[in-house]
Amino acid sequence: MSVLHICGGRPLEGELTVQGAKNSVLPILAACLLAGGPVELFNCPQLSDVAAALDILRHLGCAVRQRGHAIVVDPSGAEGSTISEAQMHAMRSSIIFLGPLLARTGQAHLTYPGGCELGARPIDLHLSAIRALGCQVEEGAGGIHCRGRPVGGEICLTIPSVGATENAMLCAVGGRGTTVITNAAREPEIVDLQRFLNTLGARVRGAGSGTVLIEGGRPLTGGSYTIMGDRIVAATLLSAAAAAGGHVVLRGVDWRHLAAVLGVLHQAGCGIRSGEDRIELEREPSRPLQAAGEVRTAPYPGFPTDAQAPVMAALCASQGSTWFEENMFDSRYRHVAELRSMGADINVRGRLALVRGVDRLRGAQVAAADLRGGGALAVAAVGARGESILSGLHHVDRGYECLEGMLRELGADVHRETGVQSAP
């Protein structure tokens, strides 16, 4: 087991380029199954979720090569149509392979992705979208069995689900006819997926607007594409700078993709300046953060659920109280107990969490229970007095490429210790 040793109390100073977006590279890797030739991807983050996606592509018969942040996928040999339970469970969003796999082979056999630390992860919207495209979907104890060649149709999502929007787009691109997706998710990662697909010769329009139009059945080529920057990693690092105080500059992310987060950090008293490919945050360490009133998570462009934990961690040490309302997932306050062990004053009732600011948190031994909760505990630790030891890094490494390296680049006192015996 590995742990992070984080000595808090030092203001953060520095500049870095943020990693490529996990939630963009994963659907784009699945989309490679639709390509008509080799695909070169750049700015791919080195994460365990990415490794799991590459394993699935290899299992299906793709040739895959990864060199640093560049990945080449050649789908020409991909004839498989089954994804094993172990592979489906190795990555939370493995269901994203359903649409492209069905479009490529005319069948797809996979198991339920399983729940996760955030609570149930239903896939009913994914399956109803596949059915709306004319394919058969059988569900049973053995898993999900889909057959048929997708044809154009109308898909109206009852929830603007990111994954269901992506699955519908990928299945429709590979099918014949025109598809309209209404109440589609509007996240920037959906726009990145549209851009990637159109690079291969697809004709997808409207991503980001809530209504996506797909002209399916066009012959696709190979191509090359650079993954967008990770707005949630940026939100995490900015929250760390807010917690510790100091002055940081992040590059490689469009500030508009995290405008709701920047608004809350500004309301909390941070100085924010953003420009082309640059987000700057400054907080005088002697001036405490202010409470931010109410923070409600919502689909994009609302406040992102993935930034709820990191921002909450920063606001634990502030003047006044902040209400959080988590509207996207049932169980996304698992970082609260650990923050309390660092001295935070937080009360949770259902979807609501009331954070009463304290002067300062204190270092403690804490364990990540999920990906963004782990990022949040690192945020709290850099602002806390004394040393913290953060375990549960297998959650953190799913979405942050060397979190300790990023924090160190911004001046934090943090290192990873490997080979630690887990507590009996």
Catalytic positions: 116
By the rule CB under 6 A, 257 interacts with ligand EPZ: no
- Partners of 317 in the beta sheet? 358
From residue 337, alpha-carbon distances to 60, 197, 242, 349 in Å are 41, 42, 21, 13
385 binds ligand EPZ (CB under 6 A): no
Q: Which stretch binds ligand EPZ (CB under 6 A): 9-17, 18-26, 98-106, 208-216?
A: 18-26
Stretch that binds ligand EPZ, among 22-30, 250-258, 361-369, 376-384 (CB under 6 A): 22-30
Minimum CB distance to ligand EPZ, residue 188 (Å) = 11
Smaller CB distance to ligand EPZ: residue 234 or 289?
A: 234
Residue with tokens 């690092």: 237
CB of 103 to ligand EPZ, least distance (A): 18
State which of positions 166-225 bind ligand EPZ (CB under 6 A).
185
The CA distance from 412 to 408, in Å, is: 5
E-only strand ranges, 96-240:
107-110, 136-140, 143-147, 154-156, 177-182, 203-205, 211-216, 223-226
146 binds ligand EPZ (CB under 6 A): no
- Please give the torsion angle defined by the CA atoms of residues 123, 126, 131 and 135, in that order, rounded to the nearest 10 degrees: -100
Task: Tell me which of 19, 305, 308, 388 binds ligand EPZ, using CB under 6 A.
Answer: 305
Q: Residue 179 or residue 297: which is nearer to ligand EPZ going by CB?
A: 297
Measure CA of the first residue to CA of the last residue in the chain; give whole Å. 13
Cα dihedral across residues 146, 151, 157, 161: positive or negative = positive
- The greatest distance separating any two alpha carbons of the chain, rounded to the nearest whole angstrom, comes to 63
CB under 6 A: which stretch of 155-163, 194-202, 347-355, 414-422 binds ligand EPZ? 155-163
Question: What's the min distance (Å) between Cβ of 370 and ligand EPZ?
Answer: 8
The residue range among 98-106, 159-167, 211-219, 247-255 that interacts with ligand EPZ, by the rule CB under 6 A, is: 159-167
CA distance 225 to 194: 12
126 binds ligand EPZ (CB under 6 A): yes
Of 32, 11, 41, 418, nearest in space to 225 by CA: 41
Per-residue mark of binding to ligand EPZ, 391-420 (x: CB under 6 A): --------x---------------------
Per DSSP, the chain holds a count of helices (H) and strands (E) of 14, 25
Cα–Cα dist 174/305, whole Å: 31
163 contributes a contact to ligand EPZ by CB under 6 A: yes
| DSSP assignment of 205-242 | E-TTTTEEEEEETPPP--EEEEPPB-HHHHHHHHHHHH
Q: Which two tokens stand for residue 117?
A: 């630390």
Separation between Cα atoms, residue 262 and residue 271, nearest integer Å:
10
* Minimum distance, C-beta of residue 423 to ligand EPZ, in the bound complex (Å): 26
Amino acid identity at 87: Q
Q: Where are the alpha helices (DSSP H) in 384-423?
A: 393-396, 403-409
Closer by beta carbon to ligand EPZ, 38 or else 373 = 373
3-state secondary structure 350-390: CCEEEEECECCCECCEEECCCHHHHHHHHHHHHHCECEEEE
CA–CA gap between residue 278 and residue 259 (Å, rounded): 13
Q: How far is the CB of 121 from ligand EPZ (least distance, A)?
A: 6
- Looking at residues 24 to 43 of the shown chain, list those that interact with ligand EPZ (rule: CB under 6 A): 26
Q: Minimum distance between the CB of residue 219 and ligand EPZ, rounded to whole angstroms?
A: 28
Pick between residue 183 and residue 318 the one whose CB is nearest to ligand EPZ: 183
**Residue 113 or 174: which CB sits closer to ligand EPZ?**
113
104 contributes a contact to ligand EPZ by CB under 6 A = no
One residue of 225, 324, 329, 333 binding ligand EPZ per CB under 6 A: 329
Q: Of 324 and 329, which has the nearer Cβ to ligand EPZ?
A: 329
Q: Is 93 in the site for ligand EPZ (CB under 6 A)?
A: yes
Q: CA torsion sign, 51 to 228 to 184 to 267?
A: positive
Closer residue to ligand EPZ (CB): 170 or 328: 328
Q: Which residue from 9, 36, 122, 263 is in contact with ligand EPZ, where contact means CB under 6 A?
A: 122
Spatial separation of the C-alpha atoms in residues 33 and 37, rounded to whole Å: 10
Beta carbons of 334 and 313 less than 8 angstroms apart: no
What is the nearest approach in angstroms of ligand EPZ to the Cβ of residue 166? Answer: 7
Q: How many CA atoms lie within 13 A of 255 on its CB side?
A: 17
Residue whose beta carbon is closest to ligand EPZ: 163
Per CB under 6 A, does 260 bind ligand EPZ? no
Please identify which residue in 6, 123, 146, 204 interacts with ligand EPZ, judged by CB under 6 A.
123
Give the residues lining the site for ligand EPZ (CB under 6 A): 22-23, 26, 93, 121-126, 159, 161-164, 185, 305-306, 328-329, 371-372, 399
